Amino acid sequence: MRRKRLEDVKANLSDLFELPREIMLNLPKISMVGNNQLLVENHKGVIEYTPQRIRVNSTVGVIRMQGADMKLKNIAVDDIIITGEIRMIEFIG
C-alpha cells in the first residue's frame, strides 16, 4: 500500500515537472519504427528468443513480441533492438 503511494507521488512529480516517466518510475520504454524495428530500453534480460517469439523481462512484467524472422540487431545492458517482422506486442503482468 505504502509502495503504491510512493509510485503515485513519483508519477505526479514527473507529470508536474515534465520529467521522463521511464526514468522516474523505472519503466521500460518501447519505440517502434513501422513494424520492422523495435527498441526496448530499460529491459531486465531476455527470457526467450526465437525468430517467431521474443520475451523480454522488465519492471512491469514480461513483454512478448511475436512475428517472423526476428533478429536481435543489437543488445546492450539496458537496450535491445529487434528487427524483423513484428506482428504483436503483449504485456504479461
Query: Could you give the dihedral angle defined by the CA atoms of residues 76, 45, 1 and 8, in that order, rounded to the nearest 10 degrees?
Result: 30
The interface mask with other proteins, positions 64-93, x = CB under 8 A, is -------xxxxxxx----------------
Helix (H, G, I), strand (E, B) or coil at 93: coil
Helix (H, G, I), strand (E, B) or coil at 15: helix
The interface mask with other proteins, positions 27-56, x = CB under 8 A, is ------------------xxxxxxx-----
CB of 15 to other proteins, least distance (A): 32
For the chain, the farthest-separated pair of C-alpha atoms sits apart, in whole angstroms, at: 44
CB of 22 to other proteins, least distance (A): 19
